[in-house]
Amino acid sequence: MNFDDHQNEELKQHYQRKGMGIGMVLFMPFGVILWLLLDNPGMLGVGPALGISIGIAIGEAMYKKDILGE
């Protein structure tokens, strides 16, 4: 792995982490709403799980947008 590949991988991870943070913040209320509606505290974990998976997709999109310069 040369320097440019390493730098691109770090940039990709940066955007993925940023997207995960955004996704967790946006989807945490979804878990709280499920918890309150269903009266099941186990549903609290659904929000962050959705947020992480959707957040990684958001991060990938941000990375591709930055790399392609669109």
Question: Which pTM value belongs to this model?
Answer: 0.77
Q: What is the pLDDT of residue 38?
A: 94
| Helix residue ranges per DSSP H, the chain | 3-38, 46-68
Chain segment 14-64, per-residue pLDDT in tens:
999 999 999 999 999 999 999 999 999 999 999 999 999 999 999 999 999
Q: Which of 30, 36, 34, 32 is nearest to 55 (CA)?
A: 30
The dihedral formed by the CA atoms of 14, 48, 25 and 20, expressed in degrees to the nearest 10: 10
User: According to the model, what pLDDT value does residue 25 have?
Assistant: 92
pLDDT at 2: 64
